[in-house]
Amino acid sequence: MPDHTNDKPLDFWAEEIRLFGVAHEGQYVDASLDERRKPSYEPAYVALDYADRMVGDLSLVYTPADAGMPKRFGFVAGLWDGRWRLSADAILRLWVKVEDDANHTWEVRLVDHDRQPATGVLSVTASEVWQQLELSLETLDAPTTFDWSRTAMLELAATFSESAVIHLDDIRFEDDETVIGVTDKPLTQRINEAEKNRSVRIATAFRQAAADEGSEPSIIVGAFARMMLDEDLDTANRIIVEELRKSSDSNVWSLLHTPLYCRFYYHFSNRCGKHPGRMTPDTEALLLETLWDRTKVKNDIALSRQSTWWLDGSENHDLNAKACNLVSSRIFMDEPDYQDRIYPDYGFGGSYHYGHAGYYGPDVDPTSRHGGGRANLADGLEYNASDHYEAWLDYMKTYFRERAERGFFVECASPGYTKHTLNMVDLVYQYGGDIELRRLVGDFLTLFWAEWAQVSISGVRGGPKTRHHHTVYRNDGAGLIDFHLGGPANAGVWWYWNLINDYKLPPVVWKMALDREGMGRYTYRSRGIGEEENELPRPLGRERSLVVDTDARFLKSTYVTPDYTLGTQMDHPSAVHSHLSISGRWLGMTFSQSPDSRIVPVSLPEGPNKKGQTNPYELEAMYQTVHHERTLILQQSRRWYAVHPEWFPTNADYGQPIGIWIGNDWDRREEEAGWVFVQRGNAYGAIRPVLWDEDQEREHKQKTEGNQVYFNAPEDAPTVKLREDCYTWSEDGTIMCLEDKHSPVIIEAGRAADYSNLNAFKTAVLANAVALYKTVVPGDHILVYTGAAEGAKEITFNTGVSEIPTIGGDPVDYSYPMTFDSPFLTSEYKSGVVRIEYGDEKLQLDFTSA
């Protein structure tokens, strides 16, 4: 048995639930393994439990009735033909809790690779208390040919009632010197298994993609999958040729095609591909011709000399274009038929063929601008592919250094766009062709995943997000990091690229991603990016670009615990927003026990949106917020200022109807004294819309005279009476609809570790004073609130005008001195030196210029 005794056992959400299976008559627990290997697998009879566990972050809850009362249940040694290297000297240990009518005798059965069984029994007490069981393997009845070194399954059998619920945790084999985890696994075991089965996981995913007979765009990725598998190459080449012939200026901004064509070249070209011979010469020639036509105009060398914060169209499209400029230039500088070609280098500005650039002026033929802007940035010199490659190489080094120095991304944690942005990061990393650039981008990927890990719970990211459209759900990176942690591979249209690189997560990031309980509770703050330069008239050539080379006054703040996250991005009231920094803003609370349990402010559409869609809610509203640990206060912004490219139709509007989405996935939901209280697992949330009792206040208002007749009188009481009935529920009961669209809302969070139950949390919250202090004009107030936590700081929040809130008497510092700041990830603003540490694992990343 391998030695993992010094490693802490760690759960992995995407693997553990798939290792578990059931067996009906004539089956083994690997019967549904093909289905369990799919990224989309969602079992109906077993769930992850983050609230009731003995070891690590989670346990498993099995409901036999939901599985059709199968004969056996248990675990496979691995999803991809894994085997446990056991010995008869080992002991099986497991934590169980059985909610049932009677005690049981469980049959324990190990199954080797030849389906030979070794059987024994365990006595299990029905109880609501966890019990640790153990069974010496030497007591099992095993045939002499049983192969302990290639044990494939652990199966358990008992007669349960229809109402039985089985809880399982920390199942492992161990002896005096070694440990093999079944559910909770030591880190070295996890890393070793992930590396060992990596190629099998990739092949499985590409085989699924190759079998997809769907239409565009999956068909071209299916052709890539066939070539990766070295199967049905005639069909693959035919599909590639058909797709290449469809290329035109109308789809050069596709997020799929150009980077995919670059990867086709570096994997299958006969000149320098990893797998030469799979692409025919004719296909390769057409690929190069098409790639040149798609990039020759967009690859304008003048753009490589601009700030890396000049973003064409959107952030992900910008990196798409510029990463492809780098990699295609590298391709062409080594191709004899292309290396001496001269690029047009029109110098018209960014976003060639990204729609239109507006009015070019009198006597200018729009076709002469080739889809470019209205600038004149060309220097009149001629440049070939090698010149372009060197220019974009310098640009990309600066790009990633500056993201590490200032923060990333404008499209922060976007569930729709993160995968596209990382696709282009990977393109530069894998095919940039420069050792220093590869180191920089590799370190950036480590920084990205470390930052992601510390605000995520089992694949669900908390904290603020941008471009999070139409839904409070969806995750940005879980499907990508799952693969790196040993989970299923996804070779779908937008994920295939994640399988063909050689990036490996360092151990410190593994630990941060898989040990949420061990990381405890903390606040993570970081600088945001995306504030516009506010230069009007807009410089020529930037008609379709963001221009965000600023020290943005945005502060992201998230309180992270093993049971929930609570976070927001706090914007300076005078910040100059870009068209992306106000788009699809997500803030609020997530709960570890269920990805469906969330508290999120939403706007309530009164008709179709600008795309003609009618949705029950949207996330296209702006909020003034303040956050300190367990307390978040938000209010729809009365005003903000944004500078847009000439083309962009902003989706965020002033004065929209507002609600608080809470859904219906709760253990308890109760209302009292104007508050709504919820519980899911070991986390509690409290939501309090705040609205003054206008009728009461006007009735008791002291009379004033003259021009001040409409003002509050000096003799009036300093605070106003609050209403407890200032919201209604949506028809489906999932949204608290605010009566006043500018009501501030308090969200208070708590844990079972701090409050014995929801009632104790309620008592603590209800004891807090919520006060609206009068100003001059009735209706415009200062909200003062101190949270329920010990040591909570008083928060003041002006609900009438845009003003900087205070926390403990100090104004929020939007020019925060740290780019990243938590116990595990730190970097001084613009230093370029990042420290990542957890436990005895430490890593320093240096992005400074050599």
Cα Rg of the chain (Å, integer): 30
Residue 704 pLDDT class (50, 70, 90 cuts): low
Asked if residue 169 lies in contact with residue 53, where contact means CB atoms within 8 angstroms, the answer is yes
Q: What is the dihedral of CA 131, 31, 121, 123, to 10 degrees?
A: 30
Is it the case that residue 164 has pLDDT exceeding 70? yes
Q: Say how far apart CA 149 and CA 375 lie, in whole Å.
A: 70
Q: Say how far apart CA 793 and CA 404 lie, in whole Å.
A: 31
Close Cβ partners of 667 (under 8 Å, ≥ 6 residues apart): 679, 680, 681
Percent of the chain with pLDDT over 90: 86
Q: Say how far apart CA 618 and CA 296 lie, in whole Å.
A: 39
pLDDT on residue 286: 98
Per-position DSSP letters for 134-164, written without gaps between them: EEEGGGSB--TT--GGGEEEEEEE----TT-
pLDDT tens, position by position, 707-745: 677 788 888 889 999 999 999 999 999 999 999 999 999
Close Cβ partners of 673 (under 8 Å, ≥ 6 residues apart): 724, 766
CATH architecture of the domain covering 9-185: Sandwich (2.60)
Is it the case that residue 214 has pLDDT exceeding 60? yes
The structure tokens listed for 619 are 């996330």
Close Cβ partners of 294 (under 8 Å, ≥ 6 residues apart): 247, 252, 257, 258, 261
pLDDT tens, position by position, 785-805: 999 999 999 999 999 999 999
Q: How far apart are the first and last CA of the chain?
A: 46
User: Which contacts qualify for 816-820: CB closer than 8 Å, 24 or more apart?
Assistant: 816/525, 816/526, 816/527, 816/555, 818/525, 818/526, 818/527, 819/404, 819/405, 819/406, 819/407, 819/526, 819/527, 820/407, 820/451, 820/524, 820/526
Residue bearing tokens 């099986």:
92
Asked if residue 473 lies in contact with residue 416, where contact means CB atoms within 8 angstroms, the answer is no
Q: Say how far apart CA 827 and CA 845 lie, in whole Å.
A: 10
Instruction: Average the pLDDT over 635-644 and give the result.
Output: 93
The structure tokens listed for 172 are 């492992």
Written as one letter, the residue type at 546 is: L
Omega of the bond leading into 409 within 30 degrees of 0 (cis): yes
The structure tokens listed for 318 are 């910008």
pLDDT on residue 6: 61
Per-position DSSP letters for 312-360, written without gaps between them: ESSHHHHHHHHHHHHHHHHHHHT-TTTTTPPP------S-TTSS-----
Written as one letter, the residue type at 413 is: A
Lowest mean pLDDT among 306-310, 370-374, 452-456, 647-651: 647-651
Is it the case that residue 504 has pLDDT exceeding 60? yes
Q: Say how far apart CA 486 and CA 195 lie, in whole Å.
A: 8
Residue 216 pLDDT class (50, 70, 90 cuts): confident
pLDDT on residue 395: 98
- Domain ranges for the chain: 9-185, 199-359+371-454+490-504, 586-816
Give, in order, the Cα–Cα distances in Å from 303 to each of 298, 333, 486, 545: 9, 19, 40, 12
The mean pLDDT value of the chain amounts to 94
| Model pTM above 0.85 | yes
* H or E stretch at 23: strand 20-23
DSSP code, position 653: -
Q: CB-based burial of residue 381 (10 Å sphere; 0-12 exposed, 13-18 middle, 19+ buried)?
A: exposed
Would residue 684 be called left, alpha or beta, if left means φ above 0 and alpha means ψ between -120 and 50 degrees? beta
Q: Say how far apart CA 784 and CA 771 lie, in whole Å.
A: 5
Percent of the chain with pLDDT over 70: 98
pLDDT tens, position by position, 317-348: 999 999 999 999 999 999 999 999 999 999 99
pLDDT tens, position by position, 429-484: 999 999 999 999 999 999 999 999 999 999 999 999 999 999 998 877 778 999 99
Q: Say how far apart CA 805 and CA 811 lie, in whole Å.
A: 6
pLDDT on residue 13: 96
Q: Which of 740, 544, 730 is nearest to 644 (CA)?
A: 544
Asked if residue 225 lies in contact with residue 496, where contact means CB atoms within 8 angstroms, the answer is yes
Residue 608 pLDDT class (50, 70, 90 cuts): confident
Q: Provide the H-helix boundaries in 409-519.
A: 418-431, 435-453, 478-484, 507-514, 516-519
Residue bearing tokens 């060309």:
378
pLDDT on residue 5: 47
Is it the case that residue 2 has pLDDT exceeding 60? no
